Chains A and B, each alone.
Chain A
Amino acid sequence: MTDKPSPLLTVENIEVIYNHVILVLKGVSLQVPEGGITALLGGNGAGKTTTLKAISNLLRAERGDVTKGAIHYQGQRVDSMSPADLVKKGVVQVMEGRHCFEHLTVEENLLTGAYTRKAGRRAINDDLERVYNYFPRLRERRKSQAGYTSGGEQQMVAMGRAMMARPKMILLDEPSMGLAPQLVEEIFEIVKTLNEKEGVSFLLAEQNTNVALKYAKYGYILENGRIVMDGDAKELSENSDVREFYLGVSDKGRKSFRDVKHYRRRKRWLA
Chain B
Amino acid sequence: MHVERSVLTTIGAMLVLMTALPWFVGQVSEDVFFEWPFFLEVAIGGLLSGVMYSLVALGFVLIFKASGVFNFAQGAMVLFAALSFVGLKDLGVPLWLCFILTAGIMTLVAMTIERLVLRPLVNQEPIILFMVTIGIAYVLDGLGQMIWGSEVRMLDIGLPQDPSFFFDGKILINQFDMFAALIAGALVAALVIFFQYTKTGRALRAVADDHQAAMSVGIPLQHIWVVVWTVAGLVALVAGIMWGGKLGVQFSLALIALKALPVLILGGFTSIPGAIIGGLIVGAGEKVSEVFLGPLVGGGIEDWFAYMLALVFLVFRPQGLFGEKIIERV
Write the residues of chain A forming the contact surface with B, with a CB cutoff of 8 angstroms.
56, 58, 61-63, 82-84, 86-88, 92-95, 99-104, 108-109, 111-113, 115-116, 145, 147-148, 150, 158, 161-162, 164-165
Secondary structure type dominating chain A contacts:
mixed
How close is B315's CB to chain A, nearest CB, in angstroms? 26
Contact of B215 among A84, A88, A113 (CB under 8 A): A84
- Are A162's CB and B217's CB within 8 A? yes
A142 to B306, CA, bound (A): 40
Residues of A within 8 Å of B216, CB to CB, are: 56, 58, 83, 92-95, 99
Instruction: Note all chain B residues with C-beta closer than 8 A to A104.
Output: 202, 205-206, 209
A-contacting residues, B200-220, CB 8 Å: 202-203, 205-206, 208-220
Choose among B123, B202, B220, B329 the residue that contacts A148 (Cβ–Cβ < 8 A). Answer: B329
Q: Given that A61-B212, A100-B213, A101-B213 are contacting pairs, would A115 and B219 also be in contact in the complex, using a CB cutoff of 8 Å?
A: yes
CA distance A112 to B324 in the complex (A): 20
A62 in contact with B123 given A83-B218, A165-B217 (CB within 8 Å): yes
**Chain B nearest CB: distance from A188 CB in Å?**
21
> In the complex, are the beta carbons of A84 and B212 less than 8 A apart?
no
Cβ-neighbour of B212 out of A58, A86, A109, A147 (below 8 A): A58
What is the interface of chain B, defined by CB distance below 8 A to chain A? 122-123, 199, 202-203, 205-206, 208-220, 324, 327, 329
In the complex, which residue of chain A has the Cβ closest to the Cβ of B219? Answer: A115
Cα–Cα distance between A84 and B209 once the two chains are bound (Å) = 18
Interface centre among B123, B208, B211, B217 (most CB of A within 10 A): B217
Contact B218 A84 (CB under 8 A): yes
Question: In the bound complex, how far is the Cα of B203 from the Cα of A56, in angstroms?
Answer: 19
* Residue in A61, A82, A162 whose CB lies within 8 Å of B122: A61
Kindly list the 3 A-B residue pairs having the minimum CB-CB distance in the complex, ordered from nearest.
Answer: A87-B218, A147-B327, A99-B213
A103 with B217, Cβ < 8 A, contacts A112-B202, A112-B206, A147-B329 known? no
Contact at B210–A99, with CB atoms within 8 Å? yes
What A residues does B209 contact at CB under 8 A? 101-104
Q: Does A113 contact B205, Cβ atoms closer than 8 Å? A: no
Across the interface, do A115 and B329 meet the contact criterion of CB distance under 8 Å? no
Bound CA span A58–B211, Å: 11
* Interchain CB contact under 8 A, A95 and B214: no
Q: List 8 A-B contacts (CB under 8 A).
A: A61-B212, A99-B216, A103-B208, A111-B202, A112-B202, A112-B203, A113-B217, A148-B327
Q: Is the CB of B213 within 8 A of A63?
A: no
User: CB distance B202 to A103 under 8 Å?
Assistant: no
In the bound complex, CA of A161 to CA of B216 (Å): 10
Among B205, B206, B213, B214, max chain A CB count under 10 A is at: B213
When distances are taken between beta carbons in the complex, the residues of chain A under 8 Å from B329 are 147-148, 150
Give complex CA distance A101, B207 in Å. Answer: 8
A93 to B214: give the CA distance in the assembly, Å: 11
A147-B327, A147-B329, A165-B217 as given contacts; A115 in contact with B199, CB under 8 Å: yes
Closest chain-A Cβ to B213's Cβ sits at a distance in Å of 4
* Residue in A63, A115, A148 with the greatest tally of chain B CB atoms within 10 Å: A115
> Which residues of the partner chain A approach B213 to less than 8 Å between Cβ atoms?
95, 99-101, 158
Which residues of B have CB within 8 Å of A145?
327
User: What is the bound-complex CA distance between A31 and B202, given in angstroms?
Assistant: 35
Are B206's CB and A101's CB within 8 A?
yes
Q: Is the CB of B327 within 8 A of A58?
A: no
Nearest-CB residue, chain A, relative to B270: A103
Most buried by A among B199, B208, B216: B216
Give the CA-CA distance A73 to B242 in the complex, in Å: 54
A60 to chain B minimum Cβ distance, whole angstroms, is 8
Least CB distance from A151 to B in Å reads 8
> Are A92 and B218 in contact, with the CB atoms below 8 A?
yes
Q: Are A102 and B210 in contact (CB under 8 A)?
A: yes
- How far apart are the CA atoms of A150 and B203 in the complex, in Å? 23
A102 to B327, CA, bound (A): 7
Residues of A contacting B206 with CB < 8 Å? 101, 104, 108-109, 112
Bound-complex Cα distance A127 to B199 (A): 16
Complex Cα spacing A114 to B212, Å: 16
Please state if A108 and B123 are interface contacts (CB–CB under 8 Å): no
CA–CA, A83 and B212, complex, Å = 10
A30 → chain B, closest Cβ, in Å?
20
B217 cross-chain contacts in A, Cβ below 8 A: 87, 92, 112-113, 115-116, 161-162, 164-165
Smallest beta-carbon distance A20→chain B, Å: 13
Residues of A close to B202: CB separation below 8 A: 104, 108, 111-112
